Amino acid sequence: MQDIGKFEVLTESESHARTGRLHTAHGEVETPIFMPVGTKATVKAMLPEELIENGAQIILGNTYHLHLRPGDELIKEMGGLHKFMNWGKPILTDSGGFQVFSLSQLNNITEEGVTFKSHIDGTSYFISPEKSMEIQMNLGSDIIMAFDECLKYPATEDEIRKSSAMTYRWLNRCKEAMTRKESLLFGIVQGGLEYKTRMESLEQICSVDLPGFALGGFSVGEPIELMHKVVKEVGHEMPKHKPRYLMGVGTPLDLILCVDAGIDMFDCVMPTRVARNGTLYTWQGKISIKRAEYKKDPSPLDPECECYTCKNYSKAYLRHLFQMGEITGSRLNTIHNLHFYLKVMEKARAAINEGRWEEYRDDCIRRFS
Amino acid sequence: MQDIGKFEVLTESESHARTGRLHTAHGEVETPIFMPVGTKATVKAMLPEELIENGAQIILGNTYHLHLRPGDELIKEMGGLHKFMNWGKPILTDSGGFQVFSLSQLNNITEEGVTFKSHIDGTSYFISPEKSMEIQMNLGSDIIMAFDECLKYPATEDEIRKSSAMTYRWLNRCKEAMTRKESLLFGIVQGGLEYKTRMESLEQICSVDLPGFALGGFSVGEPIELMHKVVKEVGHEMPKHKPRYLMGVGTPLDLILCVDAGIDMFDCVMPTRVARNGTLYTWQGKISIKRAEYKKDPSPLDPECECYTCKNYSKAYLRHLFQMGEITGSRLNTIHNLHFYLKVMEKARAAINEGRWEEYRDDCIRRFS
């Protein structure tokens, strides 16, 4: 208990890449790490044992979705999100901000908070910084994200400054509202995609004494090169002795480039979502399992992969399952993609610890580009 | 190898219920047994390890579906159905007859065979007794079902007799076409739902020297009581020292009543199909997980069940997953229903072996009625 929130930087590379260890109420997390997304109290198509078997250390839950269905109070009554979904390792929940601004029909944004209509049935909801903290504490999250405003891209410098300033005021309200000692509050840096405004937000947000910080406001429609550029510029400017989390990113290549920029934590729906659509990541690049060339292919998805799917099934079988719309296909594909993402990160940690990060990074860039 | 096809009757109860052991090329099967259905080279939502963990000894594959997609020749090229789907235990395949007559658009039925159009894309196919054997041998099945004509219900006595006679002639052609020593051919008794015509078919079919026999032509729209009546009348008339298989049946109550009538083997899509629709079988009866009363219910589906789902998840969680349409919900529900079916049969075997079948049977009838 006394260690909760402690973050140790273990090894630093010559670039900004580093390994670290974050202590949470549900155990330690070795960074850099990818967090599978369990939107609605399940990582789609996966059970907890499979996540663990494939190397997951921590998963993400979505405040917006869980608040709407089945409701955070119900989950609290059922003993919290860990117990509800049978997951004994750490959980990070987002603040709901991103979904409120992207999924719902917005009614009103004020200093007090955001009124919106549910994307499911149009019911009206209000979420404020205090409400977001309450929801996340009801869920029993190990890492709670601050409630922030997510601006659309592009936005003017003036819009960005006003928004960042409110996000900062909201962060202070979030901190004030935190009453659960086992939960760690992370602040979210906004500030758009310009170095100047981004750094202004970074300095504001990181001036608050918190156990970790995130970069938000990416994956909002900007060109991917711009994301890489901004993260490269500001990643290493975040507090060195706190975990740095890049929200909602990304492809295996994005992960490698951003680890290089000093990021420790990632989450993204991509590996699970595209798996269900038949897109698989391999050490030889991305493949679409539905292609006719795999019809009679007895080889595994990836000869370099040791996941359950690659050890036991052929491309021909996976293609058949995909074509038939079988749940088993979604399962096997999801196992592979998550194993792949988690293995990319496991190998990154080993490479950093063993002083050969640049070599591993360059090999990955070659393979994934 | 020398034992393949051997069937030992182990214990007989005072009714017609009995336990037995069937030897196949992929191992032994303890009867009475329920066989999960793996229509398209997968038991929907399940992986082989989960089937085994829940007590599956043998599964069923569908000749009609696999012939159409991905094709039995492709499966043969990939090393056979066992290897293709990573299932090392016995597989029984149906003959395609039932699906040809129920799913496809029939063009022509002659003495030679059946011409039909695929339910997927209208492509024309021809299946004869010889073709059905070829397909099932390509799949590498341990138990191959004879190609029979499935009459609609109701049919006239004349129609039934003509059809049964053709099914008998087809059976002899099936036997003639069998060239794979590892595969056991089972004959299928037809003869409609009258005792007289059914017994006529039984005597014809069972006069052929084969390692096992089935009752076909049920689940064709007849009242369930009529099926119970006919199986009770004719089940024990089937050869005593051969396995007796009742095709496509049924509910847990059906299984118990038909074991009592002397049946050894069953298959049905019901436990897997209804699981995906939120219907769960328990020792206290059937429940629909979507009901509002389970919204905040922290208890497991079935307090008497020791399956993975019941050990780890609440009704509230299962209801939430069902409402959200999550694959994880289909998985957990399928695990439970299959575990339940297989446990009903495991307990039946134990009860028969221990001389308390009637007590177990009556308890099940009370619980499942």
Residues B85 and B227 in one domain: yes
* Coil/strand/helix, residue B212: strand
Residues A93 and A215 in one domain: yes
Residues of A with CB under 8 A from a CB of B: 40-47, 69-70, 74, 77-79, 84-86, 295-296, 298, 312-314, 316-317, 319-321, 323-324, 326-332
Long-range pairs for B275-279: beta carbons < 8 A, 24 or more residues apart? B275/B45, B275/B330, B275/B333, B275/B334, B275/B336, B275/B337, B275/B338, B276/B44, B276/B45, B276/B330, B276/B333, B276/B334, B278/B322, B278/B329, B278/B333
Q: Choose from A83, A328, A330 for mutation: most chain B CBs within 10 A.
A: A328
Residues B136 and B283 in one domain: no
Give me the total of CB pairs closer than 8 Å, taking one residue from chain A and one from chain B: 102
**Who's near B84: CB < 8 A, 6+ residues apart?**
A314, A316, A317, B41, B75, B78
- Name which of B77, B319, B327 is nearest A45 (Cβ-Cβ): B327
* pLDDT tens-digit map of B295-319: 999 999 999 999 999 999 999 999 9
Chain B neighbors of A70, CB-CB under 8 A: 295, 316, 319-320, 323
Nearest to B152 by CA among B192, B110, B195, B108: B192
Last residue of a domain, one of A268, A303, A333: A268
Residues B363 and B262 in one domain: no
Report the pLDDT value the prediction gives residue B117, as an integer from 0 to 100. Answer: 92
Chain A neighbors of B326, CB-CB under 8 A: 40, 42, 44
Chain A neighbors of B84, CB-CB under 8 A: 314, 316-317
A155-178 burial, b for 16+ CB within 10 Å, e for fewer? beeeebbebbebbbebbebbbebb
Percent of chain B's residues with pLDDT above 70: 100
* pLDDT tens-digit map of A103-162: 878 878 999 999 999 988 989 999 999 999 999 999 999 999 999 998 888 999 999 999
Q: Choose from B328, B330, B334 for mutation: most chain A CBs within 10 A.
A: B328
Which residue from B minimizes the CA distance to A332?
A: B47
Amino acid at B322: F
Angle CA A133–A143–A154, to nearest 5:
75
Euclidean distance between CA atoms A107 and B309, whole angstroms: 41
The total of structural domains in chain A comes to: 2
In this prediction the pTM is 0.98
CA distance A81 to chain B (A): 10
Q: Kindly determine whether residue A84 and residue B326, on different chains, have CB atoms separated by under 8 Å.
A: no
Residues A212 and A121 in one domain: yes
pLDDT greater than 70 at residue B1: no
Q: Kindly determine whether residue B327 and residue A74, on different chains, have CB atoms separated by under 8 Å.
A: no
Report the pLDDT value the prediction gives residue A174, as an integer from 0 to 100. Answer: 98
**How much is the ipTM here?**
0.98
Residues B283 and B151 in one domain: no
Percent of chain B's residues with pLDDT above 90: 93
Euclidean distance between CA atoms B36 and B38, whole angstroms: 7
- Flag whether A1 is in a domain: no
- Flag whether B103 is in a domain: yes
Euclidean distance between CA atoms A368 and A344, whole angstroms: 11
Report the pLDDT value the prediction gives residue A152, as an integer from 0 to 100. Answer: 85
- Flag whether B188 is in a domain: yes
Distance of alpha carbon A281 from the chain centroid: 18
Residues B223 and B258 in one domain: yes
Pairing, β B244-246 against β B91-93: unpaired
pLDDT greater than 90 at residue A91: yes
* pLDDT tens-digit map of B218-259: 988 899 999 999 999 999 999 999 999 999 999 999 999 999
Residue B348 tokens read as: 């039946």
CA distance B360 to chain A (A): 34
Euclidean distance between CA atoms A339 and A12, whole angstroms: 25
Distance of alpha carbon B159 from the chain centroid: 26
Burial (Cβ within 10 Å: 0-12, 13-18, ≥19) of residue B369: exposed
B297: containing domain? 274-369
pLDDT greater than 80 at residue A230: yes
Residues B210 and B333 in one domain: no
Report the pLDDT value the prediction gives residue A309, as an integer from 0 to 100. Answer: 98
Last residue of a domain, one of A214, A240, A268: A268
Residues A90 and A191 in one domain: yes
CB atoms under 10 Å from CB of B122, counted, come to 9
Confidence band, pLDDT 50/70/90 cuts, at residue B164:
very high
Residues A173 and A305 in one domain: no
Chain B neighbors of A77, CB-CB under 8 A: 296, 298
* pLDDT tens-digit map of A193-228: 999 999 999 999 999 999 999 999 998 889 999 999
CA distance B331 to chain A (A): 8
Q: Kindly determine whether residue A316 and residue B84, on different chains, have CB atoms separated by under 8 Å.
A: yes
Residues A256 and A277 in one domain: no
CA distance A161 to chain B (A): 38
Read off the pLDDT of each residue in A79-94 and give the average, rounded to a whole number: 98
Nearest to B71 by CA among B24, B118, B115, B4: B118
- Report the mean per-residue pLDDT for chain B: 96
Report the pLDDT value the prediction gives residue A101, as an integer from 0 to 100. Answer: 83
* pLDDT tens-digit map of B114-163: 999 998 899 999 999 999 999 999 999 999 999 999 888 899 999 999 99
Report the pLDDT value the prediction gives residue B17, as an integer from 0 to 100. Answer: 98
Q: Kindly determine whether residue A84 and residue B45, on different chains, have CB atoms separated by under 8 Å.
A: no
- Flag whether A127 is in a domain: yes
What CATH number has the domain bearing residue B51? Answer: 3.20.20.105
- Flag whether A285 is in a domain: yes
* pLDDT tens-digit map of A231-242: 999 999 999 999
Last residue of a domain, one of B206, B239, B268: B268
Report the pLDDT value the prediction gives residue A75, as an integer from 0 to 100. Answer: 98
Residues B23 and B138 in one domain: yes
CB atoms under 10 Å from CB of A316, counted, come to 21
- Flag whether B2 is in a domain: no
Indicate the DSSP class of residue B54.
Answer: T
Active site residues of A: 94, 267
Q: Choose from A327, A330, A338 for mutation: most chain B CBs within 10 A.
A: A327
Pairing, β B59-61 against β B91-93: parallel
- Flag whether B1 is in a domain: no
- Contact criterion met (CB below 8 Å) for B244 and B29: no
CA distance B38 to chain A (A): 11
- Report the mean per-residue pLDDT for chain A: 96
* pLDDT tens-digit map of B169-214: 999 999 999 999 999 999 999 999 999 999 999 999 999 999 999 9
Q: Kindly determine whether residue B84 and residue A317, on different chains, have CB atoms separated by under 8 Å.
A: yes
- Name which of B41, B46, B320 is nearest A70 (Cβ-Cβ): B320
